[in-house]
A and B are shown apart, each in its own frame.
Chain A
Amino acid sequence: MRPFAYARAQSADEAVSLHDGDTHYLGGGTNLVDLMRLGVERPAKLIDVTRLPYDRIEENGGGLFIGAAVCNSDLAADRTVRDRYPVLAEAVLAGASGQIRNKATVGGNLLQRTRCSYFQDVTKPCNKRDPGSGCPAREGEHHNLAILGHSPHCVATHPSDMAVALTALDASVRVLGSAGERGVPLSDLYRLPGDDPSRDTTLELGDLITGIQTPPLGMASRYRKVRERASFAFALVSVAVALDIADGTVRDCRVALGGVAHRPWRARRAEELLRGAPATEASYLRAAQAELEAARPLRDNGFKVPLATNLIVRTLSELTASEQGDES
C-alpha cells in the first residue's frame, strides 16, 4: 500500500476544496480500502466524508432525498423506503453481508468498482486499471462478466445491486463540484466502457456525490438477484422491475438488469414493448427477448442470456400475480 494522507472534511465545500486530483473520498471504505491493499487504488490522500451532514433520508416532492452518507443498512430498514420503493430495500438487502451493509454508505455503493479478476490483480493487464494494457478477460475468465454493451477494451460488469434499483426508479444523484451543485440522472452517471474503460462514470475529478433523489414511483416493484450461493455473492444476473397494471394491460413499467453490463442496464426496449401490452407471460417473454437481442455473450457467459430473459419474465409474472391478488 502506498502511504497516504488522511483528512476529515467538516463540510462538503471543504471536502471538494481539499480534493487535489490524487485523492479519493472515503465513505465506508468497504471497497476502496480493499483496492488500496491490493494496490489497485493508490491515492495520495483520503478525505473522509462520513461526518458530512448527508446522513438522513427526507421526503420531498413526493419522492425521497437519500443522503450520500446514509449507510446501506439504514436505507434498507427505512419505513418509507420499504413502503414506497420495495425494489430499493430488496436490492440493498441482496448485496454484501450485514456487517458490510452497516459500514457501507450509499454514495460509496454507487461508486464501487468492478470485481473482474484481472482488474483486481495489479500483476496482470487491465484497460480499466491501466489504460492501453489490454483486456485479458475477453479471451480469459469472464463467466460472470458482461453480455451487453461491452467493447473490445473492457467486458467488466458493475457490481452494485442498489444502483440497479435506482436506475429502474429514474433516480438522480446530487453532485457537488468545483462549479457548484448539479443533478445527474443515474442513466447519465454510468458509462459504457467504449474506448475508455478507466472511467466508470461521467463524474469529473473532485465531484462529490452528496445524495440521491428518487422521484415518486406509484407502482409495485420488486428486486430479484440470482447467484450461486444464497447470500454474500455478486449477481450472476439481477433484475429490478416496477409494474402498473390496469384492466389486464400494462400501463407503465420499469425494468433494469444487473450483472450484465458495465453499468446498470435499463431495459428500455422491453419497457417500450410492455407499455400498453397485455399483462401476460407471453408479453413479458416477447419484451425480454427483444431486450436481449442486443446481447453479445462471450465464450463462457452465454448462460446469462436465457437467465436474464427468464428472470425478467418470472419477476414480472410474480409481480403481476401479487398485484392481481391484491386487487381481488
Chain B
Amino acid sequence: MRSLERVEARAKVTGAARYAVEYPVENAANVVAVAATVARGEIESVGAEEVLALPGVLAVLSCENAPKLQSVDDAELEVFQSRRVAYRGQLVAAVVAESLETARAAAARLRIGYRAEDHHVLLEDASDDSDDSDFSVDIEQGDPETAFAGAAVSVDATYTTPAEHNNPMEPHATLAAWDGDELTVHDSNQGSTTVRDALAQIFDLDPARVHVVSPHVGGGFGSKGTPRPTVVLAAMAARAVGRPVKLAFTRQQMFPMTGYRTPTIQRVRLGADADGTLTTIVHEVTQQASTIRDFDEGATKPMRIMYRAPHRRAAHRLVRLDVPSPSWMRAPGECPGMWALESAMDELAVTTGIDPVELRVRNEPETSPEDGSPWSSRNLVACLREGAERFGWADRDPMPCARREGRTLVGTGVASATYPVNREPNEATARAEPDGRFTIRIAAADIGTGARTALTVIAAEALKAEPDRVTVEIGDSDLPRASLAGGSTGTMSWGTAVHRACEALLAELDVPVPPEGVEVTVGTEDELKAEEKYARHAFGAHFVEVSVDIDTGEIRVPRMLGVFAAGRIVNPVTARSQLLGGMIMGLGMALMEESTTDREFGGFLNHDLAQYHVPVCADVRGLEAVWLDEEDRHLNPMGAKGIGEIGIVGAAAAVANAVHHATGVRVRDLPITPSRLLPSL
C-alpha cells in the first residue's frame, strides 16, 4: 500500500508552521485569565481599580463589566455572565495589558472578593449516599438480575478510574481581532466550523462575518472538541480594548478550564455457564459532572456490542459536584468502559480456567447484541488470533506468578478493543487548474493526526493523480463546512466529501480545463441519510507483557502489541503513528495518569506535567501496532473505519491483566502504581 509522509512535516520541524498565538500581528495586546480560588460561592467584588492603575494595563474584564453574551448550549462559554462560582479554577476575570509580563503581574494582583459556600468535590464521598434510583438505564434486555443470581460462574467487581487530563502540547489559545463587526480568530481547536458557529451565536453575528483560522493545531485529544472559553474571552477582550489580543491558557489553567475525563466507579457483573458462555452482562457506571454542564462519558457503550449474552443491563448516573466540567478525552466512553469490561472478562477467564483469548472467541456474537443488526464487518476474533500468533501466546502458562526472573515477576495479558464507526455530513470543494494541479478545500482540522495527509491520499486516489499535484486546504472556517476532528470520524467523514467532490470534478474533466479552472462542491448529507442499517465498528486486540519488581512494585512494560481491524487503512505511515500513540496513552492510563481532587479546597492538586505523569520515552519499549486487511463495502467510498482512538481502548485492561498474571494481584483502581500494588505483593 502506498504511504504518504506527513505533507506539512517540513513546515512543522522547521518552525514555519504557525500556531494560534504565533501569528505576527501589529499592536496586539495580551490577555491573562484569572481563576476562581473558591470551590463554590459568589463573587462579591472585583478590585479592578487597583490593577487598572498599573502602567500598561488596558482593561479588567469580569462579571462586573462584561458585555451581555447570547447563550449557547454550553455554560462554560458564558464567560463572566454570572457572579456564581461553580468550581475552583473557573474563569472569573481577565486582565488585558500591553505586554504579557504586565498582564500576568496584574492578574496575580487582582483581588476578587468571594462569599464562599460549602463544597462537595469527591465522587467517592457522593456515591456512597446515593442509591440505585439515581441510575438511568442505557439498555436492558432479558432478566439480568435473575440470570446473574442463577449463573454457574460469576464475576462481580468494581473498577475505578481517576480524573484524567488531555494535556495537548499546545495550550488552548486564541489571537482575536475585530474589524468593525467582522471577527477573525486564530484559534487552537478541533473544528473551525463549530467554533465559527458558536462565536456567531454568542456575539450575535452573521456567521459569514466570523473567520476562524486554525491550519495547525498542537494536539487536542478531545479537549478542543468543543469551543473553549479562551476563544470567547479573546473576542470579548479584543472588542473591549479595540485592538487585537492574544490569549493562551497556562498549563496550570488548562487543568480546571479545558475539560478532563470524569472519574468513574464501574460495577461489572458477568454471569456465565461453566464453559464460559456468557449469560449476563451488567455494567453500572457512576461519574461526575459539574453543576453547570452535564456530560455523559458513555462508559457502557462498548458493553452493548462486545459479547453475546441474552441478559444484559447497562446504566449510568451523573453525580453533580462542585468540580470543573468533564468533557471529551481520548475515546470517551469506550476507553474507561473497556478497562472495566475487559478486566472483568479476564477475571472470568481466571475463574473458569479458560484461556482469555478463547473466552472472548467463545462469546463472539453473530449479529450486534444491541439491536440484532448485521455487522458491516467484525474481525475481533481474527485480531485475537493474529495477535496470539505474533505474541507467542500459545506458550503462556496460565497460572499467575509462574514466571519469576530474579526479583522480577513477568506476566502477559490480553484485552479486546473496539470503537464505533461514526460519520458526519460534510462539504468539500475540488478544483482543477489548467496546469494539471488540484486544490481540495474543506474546513477539516489536523490536530497532529495526519488528517491533511490522509485527505491528500484520498483526493489523489479519487482524481487518479499523483499526490504532489494535490493541495489540501483545511483549518479555516471560510472553507466548506466540516465536522469536528473527534470521535474518530475525521478521515471517514471529511474523506467521503473529498472523495465525492473529486469524483464529481473528474466527471467534468473530459474536456480541457479552461483558464479560470473548474470547481465543484459536494455535500454528503443525503448519502449518509440513505445509509443501510449495519452495526459498524472497528475492533482490535492488545497483548502486553509486564515485569513487576517484587521489592518496589515498579511496573515496566517490555512489550505491547496491538492488532487492529479497521477497514482499509488510508495512509499507513500516519495511521501507525496514531495507533502507537493511542497505545502509549493506554500505557499512561494504566500506570501513571491521575488527577487528584483537592477535597479541602476544590479543584485539582496536580496542575502541570511534573505532577501529572504521562509516559516518557524510557517507559515505551517494544511497541508494535499492526492491522489486518479488512474489506468492508458498507462504510464509505474509502472502505475505512476510524483509527484515532481505538489504540487506547482496552490497552489499560491488557496491562492490568498482565499485572495480575505476573503477580496474582488484581488491581481494580487505576493507575496501578507501586503505592497500590506493593502492599499486596
Contact = CB atoms under 8 A, between A and B. Distances in A.
A300 B599 CA distance: 14
Contacts of A310: 551-552
B162 to A, nearest CB: 12
A226 B554 contact: yes
B591 A124 contact: no
Contacts of A199: none
Nearest to A39: B108
A115 B608 CA distance: 11
Sorting the interface of chain A by its residue count into under 10, 10 to 19, 20 to 34 or 35 or more gives: 35 or more
A290 interface: no
Contacts of B551: 310-311, 313-314
Contacts of B105: 1-3
A268 interface: no
Nearest to B102: A3
B678 A307 contact: yes
A293 interface: no
A236 interface: yes
Interface stretch (A15-23, A59-67, A133-141, A167-175): A133-141
B618 interface: yes
A143 B616 CA distance: 22
A117 B554 contact: no
The dominant DSSP class at the A interface is loop
Nearest to B555: A228
Residue from A2, A123, A230 having most chain B Cβ neighbours under 10 A: A230
A228 B674 contact: yes
B605 A141 contact: yes
Interface in A171-228: 226-228
Contact of B407 (A3, A140, A236, A314): A314
Contacts of A231: 616-619
Interface string A68-90: 00000000000000000000000
A2 B101 CA distance: 9
Nearest to B250: A37
A13 B190 CA distance: 56
Interface in A1-43: 1-3, 38-39
B553 to A, nearest CB: 7
Contacts of A229: 591-592, 613, 615-616, 618-619
Nearest to B614: A229
Contacts of A143: 675
B618 A311 contact: no
A124 B678 contact: no
Nearest to B105: A1
A140 B600 CA distance: 7
Contacts of B607: 121
Contacts of B104: 1
Nearest to B109: A2
B606 interface: yes
B109 to A, nearest CB: 10
B392 interface: no
Contact of B552 (A124, A226, A301): A226
Contacts of A124: 598, 601
Contacts of B101: 1, 3
A111 interface: no
Interface string B609-634: 01101011111000000000000000
A123 B37 contact: yes
A72 B22 CA distance: 33
Contacts of A115: 610-611
B679 interface: yes
A-B residue pairs, 5 tightest by C-beta: A230-B618, A231-B618, A310-B551, A303-B675, A117-B605
